[in-house]
Each structure stands twice: as C-alpha cells, then as structure tokens.
Structure 1
Amino acid sequence: MRARTGRDYALFICVIGAGAATTHVFVPPTPGPLAVAAELGDAVDLGAMMLGGILVAIPTAAVSGILYGKWINARLDDIPLRETMGSTPEEVHERAERPISELPGVFEASLPILLAVVLVASNTTNDFLVDLAADGAAPFAGAEGALEAAQPATSFLGDPNFALTAAALAAAITYLRARSIDQSVWTDELTESLKSGAHIAAITSAGGAFGGLLAASGIGEYITDLVAVGAGGGVTVLISAWLVAAAIRIAQGSATVAMITTAGIMAPQVPDLAVHPVYLALIIGAGGNICSWYNDSGFWLIKEIGGLTQMETVKIWTALTTIISVTAFIIITVVASIVPLA
C-alpha cells in the first residue's frame, strides 16, 4: 500500500498493528488469553472471554490504530521504503505495479491466518462442548461420547505447533505460486526466512525463562498479600492486576509471559472478586500489552518487517501498544464499575 500510494506508511502500520495487538491479548484462541482463562480457573468462561475480548478490542483498536495512527502519520509521513527482512524496495514496487488480478485473492491471502485460528479453535471448541455435554446442557446432552471420541483428532490439529506449521506451509505455497519462481529459489528463501526469525525466537525464549524465574521466586504470594490489603475485591483488584502485568511486561518483554505470570499471581483473588472474573482476565491482557520495546520480540518483528529505524519503531509501535493498554484499562475499569456482573 505504501508503494502504491506513496504515503500514509505510519498509518498503515498502526492500523494493522492495533488489530493484531488487541486480539493478541484479548481474544481467544490466541495463546495469551487462553492461558489466562485457564490459569484463573472455571470462573472464566471461554465464550464470555471471547465476547468480552471482542467488545474491548474493537474500540481500543479504533482509538489507537486510527486516531493515533493519523496523528503520528502526519509527523512521520516521509518514511522511505527500505530493505527489509526478505524484501527490497525494488521488489515491493514491482509487486505494487502488478495488476490486481495477478495477486493472490483475499481468501488465499488470508488463509494462513484463518487456518491457524480454525485449527486452534477446533480443539478449544471441542473441549468446551465436552464440558457442556458433561453438564447436560442442551443441545449437547448425550453427545459427550461422540465429542470425546473426536478429542484426539482436535487435540492434534489444534496444537499450536501443528496449526502454525500448517499456516506457514499455506503461506509458503501461496508465495511460490504467486512469485512463479524456481523451487530451488523457493527453498533458499524459506531457509533464509528461518534464519531471519532465529533472533526473534531467542528473545522470546529468554523472556519466557525470565517469566518462569519470577513465578518460581515466590513474588506471586507477596504481591497477592499486598493486593489483598484493603482491596475490596472490586476495581482495586483490577487496577492492581493491570499494574502487575504492566511491570512484568516492561521488565521481560513478552506480553504472553506477562499475562500468564500475572494470572498466576492474581488467581487467589478470584473467589473474592466483586466483579466478573472476565474483567480480571481482560485487564491482565491490557497490562501485558503496554510498552513493547527493545526486550520484546514484537518490537523487532515490526522493525525488521516494516523497514523502520529503532526510533521510528519506538514512535509508532511502542507508543501504539502503550495507548492500547491505557485505552483498554479505562474501558474495562469504567464498565466494571458500572456493570460489575458479579
């Protein structure tokens, strides 16, 4: 789009980034929200988590992606197209000049994302239906045997490793078809892409190790005791959860690790909550999204794929994730105060 229009690059990145970042921390079946729901126990219904996550994600993405995107775009509208991970400006301009009919269609281009979501959701949905059948809920009463028989297949297909591998293969096949390149060149480019992603995987792994260290240190019990003093079980607990998730996110980088660690810390508060537990799960996601900077693999992903400088990435991506976090925090606390649903 930047090559086609010659403008609005920062706005395009903000809009795409806001949509991705909000669903990443609020809407199952992405790993973070799923893990938080599981950590907080049966009190967090997955369907309610999905619905609540969507209702929070839409206005949050609109405020951060569109409003902030337009504001920062007016100040960074001269970002040039640079060589990026696996792409050069010349290649981008060549693709932009192709007729639309020669490019992959909307469905084919979206297939890697849709495939991963559907596969992961198949396992999540089947587990949810098994629970409903076990409770005798209509219309699934009596179907428990059939649903349990399907669990081995859905567990295999819905495993994140399999789902993401299948999505990557779909993307690779589309790339091969659309570029019409020799298979040996295609193999070399796949190998190069794996090399380019290695440092991102290393940063993510280090963040996960640090999160495990925090959880094993006993800090969870300490923070739980602090939160419990005068908390009242309502909005104060939500504020505390947001602060804890934000602190862990800034310290070690990974939003998912921050969310899982905070959920473990806050889980003892669930029985005494004066608001619906879904609010707690959502606000943990909001805190875990704040301030993506140098220790977050997402920061480097946006920088490398977008062809941005470090300062441009801070102004666009770091600021965007912070605005998402604060906006969602305000929405969740206000709604929880008005409609606690306890």
Structure 2
Amino acid sequence: MSTAFTTNQKGDMPMAVMHLLITISIILILILLFKINAAISLIIGSLYMGIAMQLSLVDTVNAIGEGFGGTMGAIGLPIGFGVIIGQLMSDSGAAHTIAHSMIEKSPKKMAMYALGLTGFFLSIPVFFDVTFVILVPLGVAIAKELNKPLPYAIGALVIGAATAHTLVPPTPNPLAAASILNMDLGVITIAGLSIGLVTSLIVMKVFFLILDKGLWNNEKDVEGEMKLQKTKADQLSPAQRPSFLLSLLPILVPIILILLGTVFDFIVKGEYVSNLTEIPGFITFLSNRIVALLFGVILAYVIASKSMDKKEKDEASSLGLQTAGIVLLVTGAGGALGKVIETTEVGKTLIGGVSENTSSPITLILITYLIAVIFRVAQGSGTVAGITAMTIMASAATSGIVHPVWIAMAALSGGISIGHVNDSGFWITTKLSGFSIRGGFKTYTLGEALVSLVIIVITLVGVIIYPA
C-alpha cells in the first residue's frame, strides 16, 4: 500500500485538518446544493480524502470497499433484523398493545409522561415515524382527557421516541457506534437506556413548564386539521392483538441476550468468580448482536401469527427492509469514510494535535458534539450526522484520553440537536399534527434541541467523573 500523509512525515497538522474540512465541505455541498444522496456524497468525500492525503487511487478505492464491507458485516444484519421486528410489531398490533397497556396502567396525572415513555420503548425497534403514527391517536385522547392543548402530547411523543431512536440499539446510529468505536454493544445499550430514560423525563418536565409559560399560540401555531393515518393494526380488534407480555418479548429478549455477554465480560475481567477465566462459548454465541436480534425476529414472527398470515408477515418484512435500504447504504458509506480516515491517519493526527495542546477529555467531547451538530443542522439526517462525527473522532476512542461511550454519546446527542425543515421527521410531526411550520419548531425542533442539550450535559458530567 502506498504511504499516506502523516504528521511523522510532514509534521503538518494544519494540512491534515484542512483536507478533513474540505472533505466535510464536499459532502455537505453535494447533499445540500446538488441534492445528491448522502451515501453517494460520503463516498465522493472519501475519494477526495484518500487522494488528497496521498493514498493511491487503487488504495483509496480498496479502503472504501473494505470500510463499507466491514461496517455492513458488523451491523448490516442487525439493522435489517431490527427493522423487521419493528414492522412486524407495528402490523401485528403488538405495538398498539404495548401503547394502550402502558397508558391505561399509568396514573392520570402521569399520563403525558407515560405517553412519552411509551414512545421511548416503542422506538427501540420501531422507526420514529411509525411510532409517531401509532401513538398520535392516543396522544389526542390523553390531551382531551387532561384538558391540555395538543402540543403537550405531541412534544412528549417527539421527546420519548426521538431519544430512544437516537440512543438505543438496534436503531442504526447506536448500533453503528459499537462498531465504529470498537466497543461492547451491551455498554452502549446500557448507556443509551439509562441516559435516554433520564433525559426523556427531564426534558418532558422542562418542555411542559415552557408550554405552561405561554409558548403556544393557536392562531399562529396551528394550520389545519390533524391528519390521523390509519395503519393495518388499527383494523384489528383487541382480541386479535397479542397480549402485553407477548408483545414485549421481541424487544426485551434481544436486549437481555446482548446484556448477558456484557455481564459475563464484567464478571470475567473482574475475577468475581474464581474458576471463570473466560466467557462461556454459548454465552458469546447468544449475546452476539446477530443471534440476539435473530431471536427477536423469530419471536416477532411467532407473535404476529395471531393476527397475520404468512403472506402478510412476508410483506411486512419486505416493507421493513425497503425502509432500511437507504439507512444501510448511508451507514456503510459512513464506514467507508471511516476506513479512509483510519488509513490516512487523519484522525490520529487531529487527536494528536489536540492532545498536544490539551489533554482534556471535555475538549474532545465538545469537538465531537460540534461536528455532529454542524452535520445535523446542515443536511437534516441524524444518522449521517452521528456516524460522520463518530467516524472522524474514532481515534479519540483509542487515545486513552476519553472512554468511547462518551464519544458515542456526544456524537449521538449532536445528531439529534436541531431538526428543522430539512428533516423528514419535522414534516411528519408537523403535518400529521395539523401544526404550522412555527408550531413544528415549537414542538419537534424545541423538543429535540432540549434532548440534545441534556444528553451532552450528562455526558460532560460523566466525563468528569469517569473520563476513561
């Protein structure tokens, strides 16, 4: 392989940073100005980075192929399985059962919080837009029962669903975090669940207080009638839908299996059991992300059999994979860029330059967050924003300055930061709710911005307490 540009050879960190900034600019210009697909834009940016950093044409292309293939090998099947689980849960009525049960079992005063937390748990396997469509009718009913304006319910839904979609596997970004930053998927799952739940509760409280102060103006923030969409599961009677406990299994079983491997790894490394020197083979097998999510898919198929025939289940799986296609392509392209950055040692150069001036992990966290925010605001996709930030800062995860989980949280929080008119989630929320663009800013944009700020604050506190 031809020799890449490195600080040892050139001693010129500014040049490496300049080429990285040009690469980022190329990607953003292609997406924003020329409306080119994010995956294609990432690959073109990768080509520039490799060539500019003195890789040969062949080596650059090989690095792109290796990066794409490596990423897909690590997370392609898990993402696909996660999407199938979500689609089957949606179409079979399992998601509706979970939603109705959680709302019915919560105290009336806590109904709005229960709505948001329901959105949180449903968005673990189900994409944000599907979760929103499922829960909007419940949100309307709760708002009427509590005599609260609709934005309280819409905001709660956005906060809960968007937080889980951003932080908790098997959604693409947190799943990619484990691969890009070379960390245990169980660790990112624990961090995503714990930080996500705390964040959701805090942000819902803050959001409700802001609305109480008079933020909402019906005359300016509402544009038309709410557009409630009917789904296949809406046509099912309660008797046709699976029970609450059965409905939970496709979500809980994969998470438990993944965490099982993390627990045994902790026990082995901590030498808490004298005769246990390595993780048993069957535990390693069961906790593998592919196997764990495969169990989830099988359970989702079995549970869906109560209300769906074979053809309907196959159609649901196909529809889910169609939805996942672009996500997989973008994620793989992010992996390609990551491999080029790794091969050219740009990441090490950047982290080395930063660490020469400061060894503060907080600086690395804020840089990661800022990169993700820039991508999020500029091109709209939280997936592209988070993956790009993690890819650029991956070297920080091995620097010993900061623990990889904090790099992941910083990138993911930046990826959810400011969703506006270039984000499909903004339009789904705004149009289905009957809000004006101004109303969308006050619910979707404000809700996600508050989530981002709380996550980054928790991350910075975590870095201070446990930096590496």
Q: TM-score range by the shorter chain?
A: 0.5 to 0.7
Distance 1:245 1:55, change over 3 A: same
Q: For 1:11, give the aligned amino acid.
A: G
Contact kept, 8 Å, 1:200 with 1:301, in 2: the verdict is no
> Is 1:82 matched with 2:229?
yes
Q: Output aligned runs, 1:183-222, within 5 Å.
A: 183-222=310-349
Q: Output aligned runs, 1:151-162, within 5 Å.
A: 151=281, 153-162=282-291
What is the CA–CA distance in structure 1 between the aligned matches of 2:333 and 2:182, rounded to whole Å? Answer: 23
Q: Output aligned runs, 1:1-342, within 5 Å.
A: 1-4=135-138, 5-6=140-141, 8=150, 10-11=154-155, 13-21=157-165, 23-24=167-168, 31-32=175-176, 34-35=178-179, 38=182, 56-65=195-204, 67-68=206-207, 71=211, 75=221, 78-82=225-229, 87=231, 92=234, 94-95=235-236, 98-99=237-238, 103-132=241-270, 137-138=271-272, 140-144=273-277, 147-148=278-279, 150-151=280-281, 153-177=282-306, 179=307, 181-247=308-374, 253-254=383-384, 257-258=387-388, 260-267=390-397, 269-271=399-401, 279=406, 282-291=409-418, 303=428, 320-333=447-460, 339=465
What secondary structure sits across from 2:456 in the alignment?
helix
Unaligned runs of 5+ in 2: 1-134, 144-149
What is the CA–CA distance in structure 2 between the aligned matches of 1:314 and 1:163, rounded to whole Å? Answer: 38
Identity within the alignment, %: 17
May I ask how many residue pairs the two structures share in their alignment? 306
Give the alignment's Cα RMSD to 1 decimal: 4.5
TM-score by length of structure 1 reads 0.66
Unaligned runs of 5+ in 1: none
What is the CA–CA distance in structure 2 between the aligned matches of 1:278 and 1:205, rounded to whole Å? Answer: 21
68-77 or 12-21: bigger deviation: 68-77
What secondary structure sits across from 1:290 in the alignment?
coil
Per-residue CA shift, 1:264-290, capped at 9, x if unaligned? 23236425x6xx776555434433543
What secondary structure sits across from 2:275 in the alignment?
coil
Q: For 2:455, give the aligned amino acid.
A: A
What is the CA–CA distance in structure 2 between the aligned matches of 1:54 and 1:162, rounded to whole Å? Answer: 21
- Residue 20 (structure 1) shift: 0.7
Contact kept, 8 Å, 1:249 with 1:255, in 2: the verdict is yes
What is the CA–CA distance in structure 1 between the aligned matches of 2:259 and 2:335, rounded to whole Å? Answer: 24
Distance 1:340 1:185, change over 3 A: closer
Per-residue CA shift, 1:185-217, capped at 9, x if unaligned? 433343344334333433433343344444445
Distance 1:36 1:340, change over 3 A: same
What is the CA–CA distance in structure 2 between the aligned matches of 1:190 and 1:336, rounded to whole Å? Answer: 40
What secondary structure sits across from 2:258 in the alignment?
helix
